[in-house]
Amino acid sequence: MKNRNPLSARLFFSSCLLLAVSLALVVTEQDLLSLEKPKKPDLHQVKGDGQILTGIYLIYDRQFSEAEKLFNNVVSESEDKPAGYFYLAMVSWSRLASGFWSPDVVEEFKKRIDRAIEVAKARVDKKDADSYDFFYLGGALGFKGRFELMKGNWVSSFFLATDAIDALKTCLKMDPDNKDVLLGIGTFDYYTARLSGVLKFLTYFLLHKGDKHEGLKKLNIAANEAVYSETETKSMLLHIYLFIEQDFKKALDLSGELARSYPENPRFKGLEGVSYIRLKAGPQYRKVVNELRQRGAEAPKRETADMWERQALYLESIYNLFQGRYPEARAILKKILEHPDPENDPTMIAWPLIKTGMSYDLEENRDEAKKYYNQVLNMENGSGAQFLATKLLESPPKKEDPFLGY
């Protein structure tokens, strides 16, 4: 079924990509804090399973192989429980969100998320499930729904989401103190309130109208009080505030915190820079660019150094796009594309192509813009950009479009 409202599609798109999903303190003494060591979870001070908390940290710090080993161990210790399978699926999802959108990773995610659903449902069907069996069932259904949404399967995504919410509400009834469930419930509340067309009709059919303010309230509670969903909730809120609500101060608070907490993830530092751009804080934006380059200079490996440098260049291109300096933006994007690294940094191939197309669209050169969008669609690994390319082929961006900063 074809979406009739490109804006609604773009609103959903922002939540789908990031995990990173990507994760609210005011930024102070940033030049020192950005150089701090990773703040790994203190397992003596937090509730929850220590292995899982460590694995979640590894996912968001882009240490995917280490996280996978840890969650395989969780599976081997509890093969009849869904937690390990769910987080193995999240490793694959995070690889997708980080740009590794190859057919093998896509297929791996599908198999893993279906296995998590299968194991959770088996426990629920036995009538002896605990609250976290419903939590992981709801979480797995929700992520499968987000995956279907990214493919444009709007209706199937919506029904997966409603099944997910039913499971999460059951979890909440069994354990009213569980704040992790508020990520899924709050997200559903927020986005169903923003739907239109046939999807809006479905929300009435299912007696769920959505409530934007209630959704944001739930998400903020989860960001501050959830055990396992804290980082994902902060990432979700960051994308909502930066690309939808356009509350750039809140986006800055979240991006700054995430950049400090996960210093090996350049995406969070980049979004901190975008927040400054949107706040029209030029000196602070330039400082972030310099910090990205400093991280590159200190990197022990060449491929890592190049990754940080590409992030700095990409941020500079975003600044030029918002300033209306389209040829300058293209010149910077060309530098990125001249030195691609499809094995370690595939995001910085497809997304610079998208940005180049947007720059031509903003100059009202639609034919040239479409060439770049189609180039992304024809890539074996579109790094998630293929979904936005489809939308941009339907409707060009406008000046100050929030997605110039994505």
The mean pLDDT value for 356-368 works out to: 98
CA 220 → CA 171, 179, 238, 268, 298, distances in Å? 19, 10, 11, 19, 35
Across the chain, what does the average pLDDT equal? 86
What's 42's domain CATH number?
A: 1.25.40.10
Last residue of a domain, one of 221, 238, 263: 263
Q: pLDDT confidence of 188, banded at 50, 70, 90?
A: confident
Are the C-beta atoms of 16 and 261 separated by less than 8 Å? no
The answer on 199 and 323 residing in a single domain is no
Q: Are residues 202 and 271 in the same domain?
A: no
Tokens representing residue 49 in the block: 């399973």
User: What would the pLDDT profile of 66-104 be if each residue is shown by its tens digit?
Assistant: 999 999 999 999 999 999 999 999 999 999 988 898 889
Global pTM value: 0.84
Torsion from C-alpha of 214, 250, 275, 396, nearest 10 degrees:
20
Q: Are residues 115 and 182 in the same domain?
A: yes
Calpha distance 218→122 (Å, rounded): 29
Q: Angle CA(36)–CA(64)–CA(229) in degrees, nearest 5? A: 75
| CATH code, domain with 275 | 1.25.40
8 Å CB contact between 299 and 337: no
Question: How much is the pLDDT for 197?
Answer: 53
pLDDT at residue 7 tops 50: no
Residue range of the domain that includes 128: 1-263
Percentage of the chain exceeding pLDDT 90: 73
Residue 312 near residue 333 (C-beta atoms within 8 A): no
C-alpha to C-alpha distance for 143 and 138, rounded to whole angstroms:
9
3-state SS, residue 113: helix
* Spatial distance between the Cα atoms of 271 and 276, rounded to a whole number of angstroms: 9
How far apart, in whole angstroms, are the C-alpha atoms of residue 303 and residue 62?
14
Q: Which is higher by pLDDT, 17 or 243?
A: 243
CB 317 within 8 A of CB 295: no
What pLDDT score does 151 carry? Answer: 76
pLDDT digits over 12-67, tens only?
Answer: 333 333 322 232 222 222 222 222 333 444 433 345 589 999 999 999 999 999 99
Instruction: Please report the pLDDT score of residue 209 as a whole number.
Output: 64
Taking the mean position of all CA atoms in its chain, how far away is CA 138?
A: 18
213 and 69 share a domain?
A: yes
Regarding whether 226 and 137 lie in a shared domain, the answer is yes
**Whether 180 and 303 share a structural domain:** no
Give me the number of domains the chain comprises. Answer: 2
Among 263, 289, 317, residue at a domain's last position: 263
Residues 245 and 107 in one domain: yes
Burial class (CB within 10 angstroms; exposed 0-12, middle 13-18, buried 19+) of 22:
buried
Residue that finishes a domain, picked among 263, 296, 320: 263
Q: Which two tokens stand for residue 29?
A: 């003494």
Residues 185 and 315 in one domain: no
Do 297 and 182 share a domain, yes or no? no
254 and 391 part of one domain: no
Q: Kindly provide the residue ranges of all beta strands, DSSP E only, lying in 144-223, ordered along the sequence.
A: none
Q: Which residue has the higher pLDDT, 153 or 336?
A: 336
152-161, 182-191, 258-267, 342-351: which range is least confident on average? 152-161
Mean pLDDT across 174-184: 95
Q: What is the total residue count of the chain?
A: 406
What's at 335, amino acid-wise? K
In this structure, are 172 and 226 located in the same domain?
yes
Lowest-confidence range among 13-17, 142-146, 203-207, 212-216? 13-17
Residue 383 amino acid letter: S
Q: Do 232 and 270 lie in a common domain? A: no
